[in-house]
Amino acid sequence: MATSVTGPQFEPVHERALTPAVGPAHDVDGFVRQFMRELNYSQGVPLSRSTLNDQYLALARTVRHYLMQGWIRTGKRRRDAGDKVIGYLSAEYLLGRQLDNALLAADLHDIAREAMRACGLDFDVLRAQEIEPGLGNGGLGRLAACFVDSLATMDVSCIGYGIRYEYGIFKQTFAAGKQVEVPDSWLALGSPWEFPQPDRAVQIDFGGHTESYTDDDGRERTRWVPSWNVQAIPYHLLVPGYRNNVVNTLRLWSARATNAFDLQLFNQGDYAEAVRAQTFAENITKVLYPEDSTPQGRELRLQQQYFFVAASLKDFIRHTLPQDFDLHHLPERVTFQLNDTHPVIGIPELMRLLIDEYDFEWDEAWDVTRQCFDYTCHTLLPEALEVWPVELLGRLLPRHLEIIYQLNEDFLEQVRERFDGDEVRARRMSMVQENPVRAIRMAHLATVAANKVNGVAALHSQLLRDKVLPDFSEMWPDKFTNVTNGVTPRRFVRIANPGMSELVTEAIGEGWLTDLERLAELEPFAEDSSFRERFRAVKAGNKDRLRQLLHHRDDIELDQDHMLDVMVKRLHEYKRQSLKLLHVVSLYEQIVSGEIDADSLVPRTVVFGAKAAPGYVMAKETIALINAVARTIDADERVKGRLAIAFPANYNVTLAETLIPAADLSEQISLAGKEASGTGNMKFALNGALTIGTDDGANVEIRELVGDENFFLFGMTEPDVAALQAKGYVPGDVYASSPRLKRTIDFLAGGHATGGRTSTAAAVIDDLLSHDRFMALADFDAYVEAQGRVEAKYADTEAWTRSAILNVARSGFFSSDRSMRDYLDRIWNVSARS
């Protein structure tokens, strides 16, 4: 009997031409119809009974529906063309909210706003319902998000691979000024931007042992006999290019048990044991960067890293390549970019796949593997270059440890041959560290295997060659290159700063959002008094927007007409939030002591935003101290309206989009030679803030581009730091020799800036006077002097505005589009279509 089917019929995508008719109509009526379908059939409610969350989910899914046409077409075009794919392997993607970015990319903002008005809904209220996915910790994750945005905008075939953390980075709150970590339940009300594909699940093995056997051709082979496994479930997020109908893929993996539920145990009443396997498996993708001060935490981190790279490599080979593809030609079809050391375990995993599962000989597998990987190093701190104890690696991934040992043996033979049997050099370069415990140096493994190794700012790349990996750069000088970081102007200028964006477009025309170096055309407008006045009006509007946000979000009241002096970044001693705090305390001490009149100060609010890693004690002590000083200053009538500290909790991308455009002064004060690059510094400059900073990371390039007169430089250079360290740095001597520093620290230690509680500052002061690993005291006097120059310039409104405009005009280099062009030209050898 024939079956009658009603409703729309869909033939397979590959059997028909995709035309613009696929998807909803690109007008208000079409958007309303699609929105109502989503609300009625996805949420299952009529508009009259829907909640705000229902409405937001329907709005987001409607926008996603518009993107699907481009996603399907992009995938088909690239499969047909056999494009080489950039497989971007990153443990973090700090995406920010997706709605505004998707609306901008698809040119749907005005249509969506009008459609919601037609439905009787407040578009801005719905936008505010979106919860930011905290799938990253800081600059590393935000950089990855900027890069995949640029690759889609440039029409480069890219799949971003990462982890779908159930909780992501923690939500920060304060209790009595101390940081408290709360789980970030970003999935609690649903995530409309993702969709799972469980039929493409990948099995990931762990543990067990290896054994030798003879294959059918009489060859001695090795097999891995794992003791347990989990499933990796892919979740897709769409990455739209800017108004080009190109949509790339971000594929995030979630862990699920292969045998999640034991019905027999459940029926026996042992409910906890019945789901033990499920709980154990799901721990792998439960939280971003689990606390690793315990053996269990370190093991979980390694599980996470292997889990997502193994799933990604298998997925690419099995599902992205044609079924009959010859893997000897794999380098022609993919470059896997290792975003720091977290994905480096992918190197032995590809070797294992080729040898154990695809019957490659060792030399064949190595020839393919070493052409498939490139490595970006994001740090100069030795403790940030991951090492994994051999005991742990061998217990969790025994086959991979064997492969690493063999790779290391082959490599050290090359070293000895190249350097006349120099065993000391061989030990330095070995992938295997012998002390204090036997461990695998993941940065060494990455450097040996990678086709190219890059740093992320000119100074960082030079120090990477000269100080971090000098033996390797001597052996392979052509392997090392630089790609200075960048940020996407779509999110961090157009979305974050609409007023300035409109002003720029009026001045230089359209097109600059995808060709940011056109901002140079703004330079003549710095001399135009009417343009400067309009620029200041935009900045004032941005400050009002921030003032309203902090009032409602944090119950923080920002003073009117203050210089906004902003330091927002991860809380780490090398970034020197303590130096900024000492400056504030110094100003406060001078007022309290009567040395200066409060009215003589340029009114200033210092805004901090920072999270400390849960196990980082000194960072948490610093947060508590900043908050204590903030409370004391806020309660003191002597400085009312002249000096204040604001420290909103839970700094994230969403807050950054409002805070950065409002900032006047950007604090980039890390110890020279310690910051790899920074991207916050770029965002501030692009939004018209002036930088006070050391010659560190990308600060060097910012200063060179914007000009010394538009940048407040202070402090030691990297050679100065190295010389002082070699001489023997004694922070107590600096304290004793600087009257201003001594008065500041004594004032703080006496409890005068912490409400009389001397214990609040004790740990930070003891560390500064005893160790001061990052030399905050050594740079204090120079920093205070530079802040004096800041005050003098800020008092000259026209001069400050001129410099702010020139910062914008001369910072077009810092687009992530330019960074991607550098990767394409210097590393990947791939051409962009746009």
Number of other CB atoms surrounding residue 525 within 10 Å:
22
Considering the candidates 460, 543, 570, 620, report the single residue annotated as catalytic.
570
User: In whole angstroms, what is the distance from residue 163 CA to residue 774 CA?
Assistant: 33
For residue 497, the SS3 value is: coil
Considering the candidates 285, 488, 679, 760, report the single residue annotated as catalytic.
679
Give the single-character DSSP code of 3.
P
Handedness of CA 287, 291, 296, 298 (dihedral sign): positive
397-401 contacts: CB < 8 A, separation 24 or more? 397/206, 397/302, 397/306, 397/345, 397/348, 398/207, 398/208, 398/209, 398/210, 398/224, 399/210, 399/222, 399/224, 399/348, 399/352, 399/356, 400/306, 400/345, 400/348, 400/349, 400/352, 401/440
Show the tokens assigned to 90.
């990153």
For residue 484, the SS3 value is: coil
CA dihedral 460, 463, 468, 470 (to 10 degrees): 140
What phi and psi values does residue 255 have, to the nearest 5 degrees?
-90, 140
* 683 catalytic per annotation: yes
Total H helices, total E strands in the chain: 33, 23
User: In whole angstroms, what is the distance from residue 62 CA to residue 639 CA?
Assistant: 51
* 109 catalytic per annotation: no
Cis peptide before 436 (omega within 30 of 0): yes
* 286 catalytic per annotation: no
Say how far residue 619 (Cα) sits from the centre of its chain. Answer: 19
Give the single-character DSSP code of 65.
H
* 575 catalytic per annotation: yes
Considering the candidates 378, 479, 491, 580, report the single residue annotated as catalytic.
378
Query: Are 452 and 371 in contact, with CB atoms under 8 Å apart?
Result: no
Give the single-character DSSP code of 599.
G
What phi and psi values does residue 456 have, to the nearest 5 degrees?
-120, 10
User: In whole angstroms, what is the distance from residue 741 CA to residue 780 CA?
Assistant: 7
User: In whole angstroms, what is the distance from residue 331 CA to residue 316 CA?
Assistant: 12
Show the tokens assigned to 213.
């056997």
How would you write 750-802 as a 3-class SS string? Answer: CCCCCCCCCHHHHHHHHHHHHCCCCCCCCCHHHHHHHHHHHHHHHHCHHHHHH
Say how far residue 797 (Cα) sits from the centre of its chain. Answer: 35
Considering the candidates 683, 752, 802, 818, report the single residue annotated as catalytic.
683
Considering the candidates 444, 490, 532, 569, report the single residue annotated as catalytic.
569
Strands 480-482 and 387-389: unpaired
User: In whole angstroms, what is the distance from residue 675 CA to residue 695 CA?
Assistant: 10
What amino acid occupies position 807? Answer: N
CA dihedral 665, 670, 672, 678 (to 10 degrees): -80
Strands 228-240 and 194-196: antiparallel
Nearest to 369 by CA among 382, 380, 360, 378: 360
Length of the chain: 834
Considering the candidates 142, 452, 575, 802, report the single residue annotated as catalytic.
575
User: In whole angstroms, what is the distance from residue 677 CA to residue 492 CA?
Assistant: 17
User: In whole angstroms, what is the distance from residue 349 CA to residue 311 CA?
Assistant: 10
Show the tokens assigned to 357.
């599962």
User: In whole angstroms, what is the distance from residue 293 CA to residue 562 CA?
Assistant: 42
Q: CB neighbours of 761 closer than 8 A, spacing ≥ 6?
A: 625, 628, 748, 749, 751, 753, 754
* 376 catalytic per annotation: no
Residue 28 gets the label, from left (phi > 0), alpha (psi -120 to 50) or beta, of alpha
What residues are annotated to the active site? 378, 569-570, 575, 679, 683
